[in-house]
Amino acid sequence: MTEGMVGIFQEIVTLFAIVAVGYGAKKARFMNDEFDRMLSKLVINLALPGMILGSVLTAGALPTAAEIWLCLGISCASTLVMFAVAYGFTLLLRIPDGHRGVYRFMLCFGNVGFIGYPVLTAIFGPDALVYAAVFNLPFNFFVFTVGAWFLTQDTDGDVRVQTTWRTFVTPVMISCVAAVVLTLLGIHHAPILGDALSTLGSITTPAALLIIGSSLANLPVRDLVGGPRLWVCAVFRLLVMPAIIWAVFHSFIDGGLMFAVAIVLSGMPVATNGTMLCYQYGGNSRVMAQGTFVTTVLALASIPILATFVSAVI
């Protein structure tokens, strides 16, 4: 476990290093707001679909059909609980209009890939990753539909995106549906196509981190860490949300690795693609970048607490 936690620490430091590069690139004028928007569009429409499909087409093995359906069900149910909690949270804390969508996004969608996978490996070993891959299929669908809709309800300046159902019929949503279908059909090993898609998708994480750093460079240094509401949201995202997921479902689901994966993934820092989606759908990129930064910093302390909690209750 100790060696695993060291690995997690290294992953988070790596994340901060790339964010710092993006911050410096904006200050040095290698990046600007228009470049950030275009890079976000490239990643969302090309790299992310490649990453989603590649994760299925390069998988060495999949769970049984019964396990897949159960995992998908737990994933969808826990996400719906997080939606309800997020709405209650924003009302309770009186989050102002124009910021509610981004706070709801931060509470519902975590960094399940770049940080989530190493955390699961450190706590449970590599056997957890096959469940995580299936668990994240509904996550990817929800983040680019409901999550995007959350952000369209906010304003970044005076801009509010007008949406129809066509707004959400995007390459990434189509790839999510295709990934679920491929998984249910047991199609998971296509070496050349899978490797090509995974290579294309590999630009997603560094590009997202560069965009976060560039967005933070627009803020005065004193504003990087946000205000009290943001910190309350961060603690809720990292520690309270996993406890809620356990409390709601532990009476209905037998304790086991699959349920443990659901709890751990519900306590990850804010998803790095949130800032890119803000550029795409008009959400408040400033608050999103702050939330991503703060939750990732706090994850250095929250992940060991989360690991102890899961070990005690599962």
CA distance 286 to 52: 27
Q: For the segment 91-135, what is each residue's pLDDT rounded down to a tens digit? A: 998 888 888 999 999 999 998 876 787 788 778 877 777 788 788
Checking if the pLDDT of 51 tops 90, the result is: no
CA distance 52 to 175: 7
CATH value at residue 228:
1.20.1530.20
Per-residue pLDDT at 245: 95
What pTM did the predictor assign? 0.80
The burial of 138, by beta-carbon neighbours within 10 Å (0-12 exposed, 13-18 middle, 19 or more buried), is given as: buried
In this structure, how many other beta carbons lie within 10 angstroms of the beta carbon of residue 72?
17
Q: For the segment 230-266, what is each residue's pLDDT rounded down to a tens digit? A: 999 999 999 999 999 999 998 888 768 889 999 999 9
Handedness of CA 75, 138, 107, 257 (dihedral sign): positive
Q: For the segment 183-207, what is each residue's pLDDT rounded down to a tens digit? A: 888 887 788 898 999 899 888 888 8
Q: Domain limits at 12?
A: 2-313
Handedness of CA 11, 43, 74, 135 (dihedral sign): negative
Contact 234, 302 (CB under 8 A): no
Mean pLDDT estimate for the chain: 84
Count: domains in the chain = 1
Per-residue pLDDT at 5: 66
